[in-house]
Amino acid sequence: MRNRALVGVLGVVISLALLAWVLKDVSVAEVLDQARRAHPGLMALSVAIATAAFPLRIFRWRLILKADDGQPVSRRAMWHAIAVGFMANNLLPLRAGEVLRAFTINRIAPVKLTSALSSLIVERMFDGISIVVLLFIGLVTAGIPATTKIAGIEVAAVGTRTAVFLAILLTGCGLALALPDLARRAIRAIIPNERLAPKLIGVFDGIRAGLTALASPGRVVAVLGWSIGLWLFNGLAFYVGYRAFDIGVGFGGALLQQSILVLGIAAPSSPGYVGVFEGAIKAVLGLFGVPSSVAVAFALTYHFATFIPITLLGLYSLVRTGMSLRSASEVTRPA
């Protein structure tokens, strides 16, 4: 409980620090002016695409998670769980939506809580692989000069290291899943901490349990294909948003933007990723020479506009499932 509280406080501090950095060299009046100039039709299309990406997750989740009797889980139940989960990530601290999503599907469908949690761990694994793949594609196709530095490293070197990391990641996952006992011993040898090692082994076992449910290599390929497709579709929302603000960055830049953003929000932050979201967008658009006022106007507008639909849809699903925000916060509160 105390550790989670400290992480929550750290997240708020990080969010406030990044928000201060985002706003430090821009005029509020100029940001508002840029936001007013945005093309409303294109911005609405961008928000519609970003929102549509949520129900598309149903099809991937159905490949990973089955009901206790082996039958497919209903799409309606999965949608309510997804909507509630992402709404909770916007309104509750510490990414509480992940736990609440598993709890919701367990409550409204014949699915064990352990199976639901394992399926979400597998989703995050495939998301991670997809994001690394698209990060590499973005680096190669975005048109950033090879000598441009990201975190002090030239783009060319970042691309090479990303490709190597992806190869190691995939090889490591394959070996670990084929040799589970060896993987557990390796985790304990690399991380001898008696509190952290069991938690990592628990995550590993959850991944194995979830992958076992996939049953065949063809299903694994299908989940990977859906994962990459989902993130490509979500990247399109950023690209259309760029057009709304007349930002001359291509689709490769949108994929790079999305990948950096996803990696950024993995760090502790306040509910809704305030500050982290805007900071990642400003930093990446700065690589393309986009003025800070334009980048910040886009970041704030896009964040606010995409925040509203899934939050309202999630609140509706929360009511339909017989829950409340108070009960949701109690479910996700550490014991």
pLDDT for the residue 211: 67
Mean pLDDT, all residues of the chain: 85
pLDDT in tens, 184-224: 888 888 887 878 888 778 777 777 766 666 667 788 889 99
Tokens of 179: 């040799």
Highest mean pLDDT among 45-59, 78-92, 205-219: 45-59
pLDDT for the residue 268: 64
pLDDT, mean of residues 249-263? 93
pLDDT in tens, 229-243: 999 999 999 999 999
Least confident segment among 87-101, 160-174, 184-198:
160-174
Percent residues over pLDDT 70 in the chain: 86
pLDDT for the residue 333: 57
pLDDT for the residue 87: 93
Percent residues over pLDDT 90 in the chain: 44
Residue 266 has pLDDT above 90, yes or no: no
pLDDT, mean of residues 13-25? 83
pLDDT, mean of residues 43-69? 95
Residue 335 has pLDDT above 80, yes or no: no
Q: Please say whether the beta carbons of 236 and 251 come within 8 A.
A: yes
pLDDT for the residue 325: 63
The sign one gets for the Cα dihedral 40, 279, 143, 290 is: positive
Residue 252 has pLDDT above 80, yes or no: yes
Helix, strand, coil percent values for the chain (each to nearest 5): 80, 0, 20
pLDDT, mean of residues 11-19? 78
Q: Please say whether the beta carbons of 254 and 154 come within 8 A.
A: no
What global pTM score does this model have? Answer: 0.85
CA–CA dist 77, 235 (Å, integer): 26
Query: Given phi > 0 = left and psi -120 to 50 = alpha, else beta, which region is 71?
Result: beta
**Hey, what amino acid is at 148?**
T
Least confident segment among 191-205, 222-236, 242-256, 306-320:
191-205
Residue 147 has pLDDT above 80, yes or no: no
Query: Given phi > 0 = left and psi -120 to 50 = alpha, else beta, which region is 185?
Result: alpha
Helix (H) or strand (E) holding 283: helix 276-287
Q: Please say whether the beta carbons of 327 and 96 come within 8 A.
A: no
pLDDT class of 143 with cuts at 50, 70, 90: confident
Tokens of 73: 């889980």
Per residue, the 3-state secondary structure of 1-57, as one string, reads CHHHHHHHHHHHHHHHHHHHHHHCCCCHHHHHHHHHHCCHHHHHHHHHHHHHHHHHH
